[in-house]
Structure 1
Amino acid sequence: MGDVHTEQAGAEQLARRYRSLVEHMPDAICVHKAGTIVYVNPAMVRLLGARMATDLLGLSITTFVARESVAPMLDRIAQLTAEGAASPPTEMDLVRVDGRTVPVRTVSVLTAWQDDLAYQVVVHDLTAQRAAEASARRAEAHFTTVVSQLEEGVLVVDRAGRIESINPAGRRILGLDETAPLVGRRIDELPATMVDRNGQPLPTTRHPMAHTLATGEAVTQFVFGVDRDDGTQVWLTCNCRLLNPESPESSGVSSFADITAFRESKRQLEYQATHDALTGLANRSLILSQLATALDADDAGTVTTVLFLDLDGFKAINDALGHAIGDLVLQIVAQRLQRALRAEDLVGRLGGDEFLVLLSGHPHPADLPALIDRLRATIGEPIIARGHRLEVSASIGVTELQPQEHRTPEAVLHDADLAMYRDKPADHRDLGLGQQRRSNNTHAS
C-alpha cells in the first residue's frame, strides 16, 4: 500500500507542476474534448479577449475559429488517432470574443485528459510577427519605389559578381534594354565596356566593386567611362559598399551617376581658361605656363627655341576694313601657323596680332632659317576676306634656350619680343619703344 500511495503522491505532484507550468506559459493553451472547450490557460483567456476562463469553458472550439479555418482544422485533428500524436504547425485565424481576428500558429496533440482522450492545442500569437513582416514589406516597397525613381543608378551584385538587382536609372545610364533579363548575369557579361580615365579598357578586377567585395572596404567617387552598346560613351562616378558590412557573405551595392555633361562642361571651362576665344590657340596664360614647365624641367630639350611673331601692318587693316575683317585675318593666320608647325610644337596668341611659338626637340641650326622662311611664306600668302584680297607679313624674333637656362618665362618672352622688333621693317617700328629695348642671347631672323 505504501508504494501505491507514494506513486499517487508523485503523480499528483507532477500534475501540479505541469499545471503550474501551463498556467504561466506565454503561449496560449486550450484543451477541447469532443469539440467542447474543457480547459484554457490565462494566456488563452487574454488572447481571446475573455474576462475569465469560465467565459470560455463549455463552448464549442469552432466558436473561436475563423470560418475558413474550421474545415482544415477538423481534418487535421481527425488524423490524430494515437495518444501523443501531433499535427504539423499550422497558421490560421482565431476569432476573439469581440469579433476581431487574431493570426496564430497552432499545434494539436491527442493527449489523456481526466481518464479520456482530448486535444491539447498550443497557440502562438503571430500578431507581432505579422506586424513586423508587414512593416518590412512596406519598408521594402518604399525602398523599391524610392530606388526606382532615383536619377542615380543602383546595382546590387552578389559575391560571385552576379547581378541581383538594378534600378531603371542604372539601365538607362548603362544603355541597357529596359526589358532585357539581367538578374543572374555577371557584370562582365553586360553589353557595356568599362574604361579608365585615359580611355583604356578597365578590367573587372580593377572595378571598385571587385575591391569592395574582396576587402569589405567602401570606395567613393571612383570615376570611369562606359562604352555603351549603342556606340556612345558616358562617364560615371560611383560609390561601392557592402549591403551588410557585418556579414562576410554580404552582397555589394554600387550607386553611380552620369557625369558626362559635367565632365564635358568642366573640360570646356578648362579649355576656355587656357585658349584664345578667337583663334583657338593657346592663350598667354597657357603658353607662359608651358614655357615655365620647360624651363623647370630636368630635360632642357623639351623646348629649345622660342619664336615671337607680330603681323606687320595689321593695324591698318583693322582701321580701314573694321575689326570683323581683322578678326578673320587673325583666325586664318592662326590656322596657317598650326599647319606649318609640328604637332609637338606649341603656338599661342599673346594678344592683338602677337603670336608665340615654342619649338620642341633639338632642331639642327641649319634648319631654323628654313623654318622661319616657311612661316613667312605661309603667313604671306594672299588672304581673301569678304571680297577683299589682303596680304600680311610677319616680323619674327628668335631666342634660343640654353642647357642651363636661368631666365624666367617673362624674360624669355621679353628677349624674343626685342628680337622681333629688330626684325620689323623700319616703317613699322615704334621708335619710342625701340629705344627702350635691349637684349642678350637673342637674334632677329
Structure 2
Amino acid sequence: MNSGEAESLRSSAQSANDDDAVIELDPAGLIKGFNAAAERLFACHSLTVLGKPVAVLLPGRTLEKVFATLLENLDSKRDIESYSTNYQRPGGEMLKLWMIAVPLTHQGDRPMGLTVIARNVTSAHRTSADVTAQDSLYRTMVETTREGIAIVDADFMIRFVNTRLTDMLGCSTTQIFGTSAEAILFPADVPMVRKMAARRRQGISEGYELRLKHKDGSAVWTWIESSPIPDEMGQAHSLIMFTDISDRKRAETVLREREAVFRGHFEYAAVGISRVGLDGTVLEVNPAMCRITGYEIDDLVGHSFSEITHPEDRIPNGETLRRVATGLDRWAEFDKRYIHRDSHVVYAHVTISVVPDPHGAPAYLAVVVQDVTNAVITANTLHLLANNAQDLIFRYHFGVEPGFDYASPALESLYGYVPDDFPAGVDPMHCLLGDTQAEAMYAALGSGHASIAPLSFQVAHKDGRKIWSEARVSAIVDATGETIGMEGIVRDISQRKAIEDQLAHQALHDPLTGLPNRALLIDRIAQALARLERETGVTAVLFLDLDGFKLVNDSLGHAIGDKLLQSVGERLRGAARSADSVARLGGDEFVVLCENLVDPAEAMTLAERLLQDLAVPFDIAGHQLFISASIGVATTPAGDPDTIMRDADAAMYHAKKSGRNRCAAFTHSLHEQTSRNLRLASDLHRALERNEFRVQYQPLLSLASGEVTALEALIRWQHPAEGLLFPDEFITVAEDAGLIVSIGAWVLIEACTQTARWTQHCLELSINVNVSAYQLTDELIGQVTTALSESGLPAKQLVLEVTESAVMSNARAGISVLKRLRDLGVRISVDDFGTGYSSLAYLHDLPVDELKIDRAFVQCLAGTEADAAIVTSIIELAHTMGLRAVAEGVETLAQASAVRSLGCDSGQGFLWSRPVGPESVPALLKLRPHAFKSSDA
C-alpha cells in the first residue's frame, strides 16, 4: 500500500467516526503522531507521548504484547493487520478496542513505519450508521490493500477473493469463486501447500513463498500468510493474504546471476583482485593474487599489503591509498614492487578505486594487480641490449625540427655522432644518408608503408668515411593515421658487403688462376654475339686442352700441377690480345674469346701463336716442364654461346685425335661427325637391352708350331640403321657416354662363356679380351670374378689386353687393379706396345705376361734395317723381362717369316684369319695351317 492508499484509509476511518484514534509509529516503535481522538481515548496529551515507545500509553503486558506484534509487521510482507484487545483507562473503565495497523510508504522492501487506527467498540448498541461505516472501512481496506486476499473454507474451496488477487491471476472473480484453491496454485507447489495446511491445523502458523498459476500459465511468486476466521455458522475458515513478490524474485535471480558472474570473474581472473578496508586491511583476495604474491588466502586476509610491499614503495603507495580512501581521488594507478613469499621481487601495475555504500559513503577499496614482472624484465633486458648492442636502435620524429627521440650508443660507436652533434635546423637523416637516400626513405614511409624491407645504403661517418649499413624501419603514425616518425635498427654491413663482393668475384672467377670461369665466359660470349648484331667483324672461341697434363699430376703431384695451371693462365693472358677474354673451365681446359677479328683465318693465326708460346718450357719449383695443347677454333656466325662453345670443343677433340699439339677449325663435316656421335651415344643406351652387340674372334698362332693357341674377342655393333659398326666407330663414343663399363662386362661374360665351350676341342685355348682405361677400377675385378664363375673358364685361360696409354692414364690405380687381377690367375697383355708412353720404369712395375707389338712396326719390317731394329728391340725387351712377344697385323708371308726369325712367340693377322663369328670358330680350331701359308678366310 502506498502513502496515498494509507491516507485514504485514514480519511475514511476518520470520516466514519471522529472518535477513531490514529497513532503513527516510526520503525523503532517510537510515537511520532497522536491525534485528538487518541488523546481522548488514552486520556493523555500528545506532548507527553511523542518520541516515546508505544508501551508508555499504559503499563501492562497486554498492550505491550499488542504493540509488539504490530511492530513485528515492519518486517512482514503484509500490508494490513487487525487486532482486538481489552483496555483499562486510567479511571478504571474497561474498553473493548479494535485496532488496524497500516504500513507507511515503503523504501525498498522495508516500511518506514506504521499507522495504527484504534476504535472503542465497547458499546453493544452501535447505530446502523456505525455498522455501515465499519463495513465501508473494511471494504475499503480489503479492496485497496496491496495484498491479494482470499477466504477458503474447510474443504479448501474459495469463498471470497479481492480484486487484487484476481488481477494477480489475470482472471475474474467468477472464474475462481467456488473452485478449489489448488486450481490457482502452480502445480509443483501443491504438495507444499498441503503440508503447510496440515501444520496450520496442528497450531503451527508460518509464512512461506508460494507460486500461483497465472491465466497464461506463468508462475506468480507470492508470500502467503493465513489466519483462521469463523463464519456466521462458526465454521473454521482461513483468511489468506498473498503478497506479490515476483519483482523481488526476479531481482534476486538477476542478483544471483550477477553475483555468479562477478564471482567467476573474481575467482578466475588472470589479474589479482582484492577488497581492502579503508584502513588498509585486506578483506578478500582472489586466487590470482595468491599466485602473484606466493601467499595463501589466510596469509593475506586480515593483514595489510604493506607487509609484503618493497620497503622503497611503502611510503608513496601508502599516500596514494590514503588519498583514494578519503575521497581526495576517485581512483589511482601506479607501479609497485611486492616481495614474493620466496623472497624474489614481483613487479606489478596496481589500480585502486573506492566502492561506496548505499548512502554514497566510501565502503572499501577495490584493488586490481597485474603482474608485469616479465614485461619489466624484458624492458630492462631490451634497454640493456640496446645500450650494449653493436646495432643502432633508434626512434625518430618528423616535423619542423626532425630528430632522434632515442638513439642507442651505437650511433656514436658506428658513425661518430651523438644526437646533440647535429646542428639546429638540419635533418640528421640527411647528414647520415645523404639527400637522395633520406628522401627516398621518407617517401616510402609517407606512402602508407607500415614498414620498409631491409635497405642497404652508405652512411657518412663523422670523419667522412662511408660505411655500408642495412636498416629495418617501421613508420610511427598518430591517431589520424599520419606518419609522424619512424623507428628501426641499423647495422654495419661493411664486412658482409666485402664478403659479398668477394663471393660475387668467386662465383664468376676460377679460384686457382683468377681467370673468368664458365659462367662469366658464357655471359661475355652472349654479349659479344649481341654486339655482332650491330657491328661487323668475326668473333672466335679458342678451346684449349693441355696435352699430357695428367702425367704431370700423377708424377709430380697436384701442387706442381696447380702451379703449372696458374703459369699457363698467365702465359695465355700475355699471348692474347688486351681485348680478348681468357677463361678456365676447369681441369686443364682453357678458352680464349676473341672479338673484332677481320676473318676466321685470324683466329687460326692466334691459335698457332698460343701453341708457340706454350711450347716454351715452364720452370715450376725446380722442374722444367714441357707442355703442349690441342686447340679447337669456332667462329661466328653461331646461334648462341652454348653452340659456339660446343663447336670449339668438338674441334679441340678432333685436334687431339689428330695427334695433339695442333689446332683444328670447326667444319661442317666435323659438325656432322659430332652429330653422328651424339646419335650413336643415344642409340648405345638401348643397344645392350636390344641385344645388338656381337663378338667376333681372331686367332693367335704359335709361330713355332702353327697351332691356334688363343682367340682375341673383338666387339661389333649391329646397328639397326647403319649396319655392322667396328670398335673404332663407337668405342670412344661409349667411353664419353659412360657406357663402356657395362659393355665391357657383357663382352667378358660372352667371351668366357663361348671359350669354355671350345676348350672341348682345344684344352689350352685362351681368350684375349680388350679392356678400356675406363674399366681399370675395382668394379672390373668383380666383373672378371663373375664371368669366370658363371662360365667355368679357368682364370689362367683369360688374357686381358690393355694399352700402355690406358694404364699410364692413371698409373697408380691402374697398376693396383692389374696386380689384383693377376692374383686371381688372370694373365695381362700390353696391347699396341711401342705407341704409348714407353716408360720402362712403369713397365718394370706392370704385372704383365706378354707384349703385343703394334701393327705399324710389323708392317714396316720389309723396309729399312732401322724398322726391323725396333721390332727386334721389343722382342728382346720382352724376353729379357720373361714375357711373351706377340706380333699384330701380320698380313704377308714375309712379315710372318721376319717376326718368326726375330724370335717372336706368336702372331696374329689377316695372313691366317680375319675375325669370324662364334659359329666359325670350331672349324678354325680343327685346322693346323702351316705357319707360312696364307689363308683366304
TM range, smaller chain = 0.5 to 0.7
- Asked whether 1:363 is paired with 2:604, we answer no
Distance 1:352 1:140 in 2: 58
Match of 1:397 among 618, 632, 656: 632
- Asked whether 1:225 is paired with 2:225, we answer no
Distance 1:422 1:216 in 2: 62
> Which residue in 1 is equivalent to 2:469?
236
What is the root-mean-square deviation of aligned Cα atoms in Å? Answer: 4.9
Match of 1:252 among 486, 489, 504: 486
> Which residue in 2 is equivalent to 1:276?
510
- Asked whether 1:164 is paired with 2:405, we answer yes
- Asked whether 1:333 is paired with 2:587, we answer no
Q: CA distance change for structure 1 residues 255 and 298 in 2, over 3 Å: closer, same or farther?
A: farther
Aligned-partner SS, 1:277: coil
Distance 1:170 1:350 in 2: 47
> Which residue in 2 is equivalent to 1:438?
670
**125-134 vs 363-372, greater mean Cα deviation:** 125-134
Aligned-partner SS, 1:123: coil
Match of 1:347 among 582, 586, 591: 582
- Asked whether 1:417 is paired with 2:649, we answer yes
Aligned-partner SS, 2:487: strand
Distance 1:181 1:104 in 2: 47
Q: Give yes or no for contact 1:211–1:217 (8 Å, CA) kept in 2.
A: no
AA paired with 1:124?
A: D
Max Rg structure = 2
Distance 2:578 2:395 in 1: 46
AA paired with 1:420?
A: M
Distance 1:202 1:343 in 2: 39
Distance 1:393 1:406 in 2: 31
Distance 1:253 1:147 in 2: 13
Q: Give yes or no for contact 2:651–2:670 (8 Å, CA) kept in 1.
A: no
Distance 1:145 1:375 in 2: 66
> Which residue in 2 is equivalent to 1:176?
416
Distance 2:543 2:522 in 1: 12
AA paired with 2:472?
A: N
Cα drift, residue 265 of structure 1: 4.1
Aligned-partner SS, 1:438: helix
* Pairing 1:2-17 to 2, within 5 Å after superposition: none
- Asked whether 1:383 is paired with 2:618, we answer yes
> Which residue in 2 is equivalent to 1:102?
320
Q: Percent identity?
A: 29
Match of 1:211 among 444, 452, 457: 444
Q: Give yes or no for contact 1:415–1:440 (8 Å, CA) kept in 2.
A: no
Q: Give yes or no for contact 1:155–1:166 (8 Å, CA) kept in 2.
A: yes
Distance 1:423 1:49 in 2: 105
> Which residue in 1 is equivalent to 2:428?
187
Distance 2:558 2:383 in 1: 61
AA paired with 1:363?
A: L
* Pairing 1:116-155 to 2, within 5 Å after superposition: 123-124=328-329, 127-128=332-333, 144-155=383-394
AA paired with 1:334?
A: G
AA paired with 2:511?
A: A
AA paired with 1:159?
A: F
Distance 2:483 2:653 in 1: 75
AA paired with 2:492?
A: D
Cα drift, residue 330 of structure 1: 0.7
How does the TM-score come out when normalised to structure 2?
Answer: 0.29
Cα drift, residue 324 of structure 1: 2.1
Cα drift, residue 144 of structure 1: 3.7
* Pairing 1:20-99 to 2, within 5 Å after superposition: none
AA paired with 1:147?
A: A
> Which residue in 1 is equivalent to 2:543?
308
Q: CA distance change for structure 1 residues 167 and 388 in 2, over 3 Å: closer, same or farther?
A: same
How does the TM-score come out when normalised to structure 1?
Answer: 0.55
Q: CA distance change for structure 1 residues 419 and 251 in 2, over 3 Å: closer, same or farther?
A: same
Aligned-partner SS, 2:458: strand
Q: Give yes or no for contact 1:165–1:183 (8 Å, CA) kept in 2.
A: no
Q: CA distance change for structure 1 residues 242 and 282 in 2, over 3 Å: closer, same or farther?
A: same
Cα drift, residue 335 of structure 1: 2.3
> Which residue in 2 is equivalent to 1:31?
none
Q: Give yes or no for contact 1:209–1:254 (8 Å, CA) kept in 2.
A: no
Q: Give yes or no for contact 1:396–1:419 (8 Å, CA) kept in 2.
A: yes
Cα drift, residue 293 of structure 1: 6.9
Q: Give yes or no for contact 1:399–1:419 (8 Å, CA) kept in 2.
A: yes
Distance 2:449 2:522 in 1: 47
Q: CA distance change for structure 1 residues 293 and 249 in 2, over 3 Å: closer, same or farther?
A: closer
**150-159 vs 321-330, greater mean Cα deviation:** 150-159
Aligned-partner SS, 1:428: coil
Which is bigger in relative contact order (C-alpha 8 A, separation at least 6)? 1
Distance 1:352 1:370 in 2: 25
Distance 1:374 1:245 in 2: 75
Distance 2:350 2:485 in 1: 22
AA paired with 1:415?
A: D
Q: CA distance change for structure 1 residues 225 and 335 in 2, over 3 Å: closer, same or farther?
A: farther
AA paired with 1:100?
A: G
Aligned-partner SS, 2:482: coil
Cα drift, residue 123 of structure 1: 2.8
Q: CA distance change for structure 1 residues 125 and 262 in 2, over 3 Å: closer, same or farther?
A: same
Aligned-partner SS, 1:309: strand
Deviations 1:63-98 (A, max 9, x none): xxxxxxxxxxxxxxxxxxxxxxxxxxxxxxxx99xx
Cα drift, residue 241 of structure 1: 1.9
Q: Give yes or no for contact 2:615–2:626 (8 Å, CA) kept in 1.
A: yes
Name stretches of at least 5 consecutive residues in structure 1 with no aligned partner.
1-45, 51-94, 107-120, 195-200, 431-436
Distance 2:383 2:558 in 1: 61
Aligned length: 321
> Which residue in 2 is equivalent to 1:428?
660
AA paired with 1:438?
A: L
Deviations 1:148-206 (A, max 9, x none): 2444322322214433321123443x33256974596632464x566xxxxxx954322
Cα drift, residue 355 of structure 1: 0.6
Deviations 1:95-139 (A, max 9, x none): 99xx93237889xxxxxxxxxxxxxx983357326777999x969
Distance 1:370 1:429 in 2: 15
AA paired with 2:585?
A: L
Distance 2:485 2:332 in 1: 31
Distance 1:407 1:348 in 2: 18
Distance 2:612 2:478 in 1: 70
Q: Give yes or no for contact 1:209–1:240 (8 Å, CA) kept in 2.
A: no
Distance 1:181 1:392 in 2: 66
AA paired with 1:102?
A: T
Cα drift, residue 414 of structure 1: 3.2
